Amino acid sequence: MKYLLSLFAAVFLLVSCSTATQVSDKAEVSVKEMVKDPETTLVDVRVPEQFADKTANGAVNIPLATIQDNIDFFRKQKNIVVFCNSGKQAGEAMEILKKNGIQNVYYGKTLKNVQAIQNENLK
- Cβ pair 111, 55 in contact under 8 A: yes
Burial of 1 (0-12, 13-18, 19+ CB in 10 A): exposed
Domain 27-122 has CATH 3.40.250.10: yes
CA dist 7 and 11 (Å) reads 6
Q: Catalytic residue at 84?
A: yes
Cβ atoms of 83 and 113 closer than 8 Å: yes
φ and ψ of 15, to 5 deg: -65, -45
* pLDDT, tens only, 10-44: 544 444 433 333 333 445 548 999 999 999 999 99
For the chain, the domains span 27-122
Catalytic residue among 31, 56, 62, 84: 84
- For the segment 41-80, what is each residue's pLDDT rounded down to a tens digit? 999 999 999 999 999 999 999 999 999 999 999 999 999 9
